[in-house]
Amino acid sequence: MTHPRFACIVGARPNFMKMAPLLRALGAHPGVETVLVHTGQHYDKNLSDVFFEELEMKRPDVSLDVGSGSHAQQTARVLERFEEVLQNAAAEGKPFNRVIVVGDVNSTMATTLAAVKLGVPVAHVEAGLRSFDRTMPEEINRILTDAVADLLFVSEPAGMENLRNEGHREEELKLVGNVMIDTLLTLLPKARSRDTLARLGVAPGGYGLVTLHRPANVDRPETLGPMLDVLAETARRLPLVFPIHPRTRARIAGFGLADRLDAAGIVQTEPLGYLDFLALSSQARVIVTDSGGLQEESTVLGIPCLTARPNTERPITVEQGTSTLVGSDAAKLRACLAAVLDGTYKQGACPALWDGRAAERIAEILVES
């Protein structure tokens, strides 16, 4: 392709660390033009702006400012506004050769749909992951995005198998590794040299790190309440740092559960930037999370990860890595924490191709496609 023009989409927090290495790798190919489009799904400074600074990413060339809303509202706004961006580019004689999307958030699916309907091909990075749980909004986004994208970049072998089972042609599938790990390996030394732990009053290896934001865990008091109780109980043995996502903070307040977190040993913070968070995740004794990406990051870091979900779309993190699925089962969480503290928890290994070079492999393929 001579002088290809790519629209690169970001929308929500987990997208930024995946897109940053791709922009860099594409930038190393002369003649390639990248236009960074931010849908504005996340807009708070600590869910969005801070990542552009810390990941040394260019500012968005186009902002769609869709903001929060119901799934349909958010998706509809992205569809309308991104369609206009594509149409304007074509009308100005500078059509996009391809749209590049990452991950599984509403912005991923909505921009994909707008593009393919206008005949612009889509490449999906982190394709093929399946939890087989259609109550998760992300699972619907993954299935729909992969169904219509024509270049599918896959991070682990299970993703290849899922896409084959869904009838994708072999030439559409590329097992390239994990772009989020590219960012982690690049920024780990910088993160670890920060004073994050001292500021929060914890010592290396002497605390657990907690994140919770999935609707299945935080949207009902009968699920969220007992989880907070186990955290309070755990904090008596091991201090916990808990950066609280705005969705979770709103639910805790709304359900009148704030006092459950007042236990000694729980350090509550606002959502953190990438470097502070990596400083914490890389030096924790254990991580308790319902995040998708953190299951992968903890596997690479060799830190035990107790995943508060009944299933995962990233099975390699359980089969090879350091993750164990504990669901919202307090007894299982307690047993795994005991194993970590006793030193009997399993050791993990780093999956193939999670080596810091995934974005380079993807850029090569995109430029030749």
The Cβ of residue 97 has, within 10 Å, a number of other Cβ atoms equal to 17
CB 277, min distance to ligand UD1, A: 12
Report the alpha-carbon distance of residue 129 to residue 144 in Å, rounded: 12
Q: With respect to ligand UD1, which residue has the nearer C-beta, 46 or 97?
A: 46
Window 58 to 77, contacts with ligand UD1 (CB under 6 A): 68
What are the tokens at 134?
A: 């259609």
Report the alpha-carbon distance of residue 358 to residue 260 in Å, rounded: 42
Q: With respect to ligand UD1, which residue has the nearer C-beta, 126 or 360?
A: 126
- Three-class secondary structure of residue 251 per DSSP: helix
Establish whether 38 is a catalytic residue: no
Number of residues counted as binding ligand UD1 (CB under 6 A):
19
Sole binder of ligand UD1 in the list 95, 226, 246, 327 (CB under 6 A): 246
**Residue 163 binds ligand UD1, judged by CB under 6 A:** no
Report the alpha-carbon distance of residue 300 to residue 284 in Å, rounded: 13
**Residue 43 binds ligand UD1, judged by CB under 6 A:** yes
Q: Which of 38, 124, 168, 213 is catalytic?
A: 213
Binding segment for ligand UD1 (CB under 6 A), chosen from 43-51, 93-101, 167-175, 223-231, is 43-51
CB 180, min distance to ligand UD1, A: 12
Question: Are 299 and 348 in contact, with CB atoms under 8 Å apart?
Answer: yes
Report the alpha-carbon distance of residue 273 to residue 289 in Å, rounded: 17
**Sign of the Cα pseudo-torsion (173, 176, 177, 179, in order):** negative
- Three-class secondary structure of residue 235 per DSSP: helix
**Residue 208 binds ligand UD1, judged by CB under 6 A:** no
Burial grade of 344 (CB within 10 A; 0-12, 13-18, 19 or more): exposed
CB 345, min distance to ligand UD1, A: 25
CA 91 to chain centre: 34
Sole binder of ligand UD1 in the list 4, 14, 239, 348 (CB under 6 A): 14
H/E element, 276: helix 274-283
**Residue 213 binds ligand UD1, judged by CB under 6 A:** yes
Sole binder of ligand UD1 in the list 39, 41, 234, 322 (CB under 6 A): 41
Window 290 to 319, contacts with ligand UD1 (CB under 6 A): none
Secondary structure E strands in 128-183: 151-154, 173-175
**Residue 138 binds ligand UD1, judged by CB under 6 A:** yes
Sole binder of ligand UD1 in the list 1, 27, 28, 44 (CB under 6 A): 44
Across the chain, how many H-helices and E-strands are there?
A: 16, 13
Q: With respect to ligand UD1, which residue has the nearer C-beta, 124 or 213?
A: 213
Secondary structure E strands in 250-362: 266-269, 286-289, 305-307, 323-325
What are the tokens at 213?
A: 């934001």
**Residue 52 binds ligand UD1, judged by CB under 6 A:** no
Binding segment for ligand UD1 (CB under 6 A), chosen from 155-163, 173-181, 223-231, 240-248, is 240-248
The set of catalytic residues is: 213
Positions in the binding site for ligand UD1 (CB under 6 A): 12-14, 41-44, 47, 68, 104-106, 137-138, 213, 245-247, 250
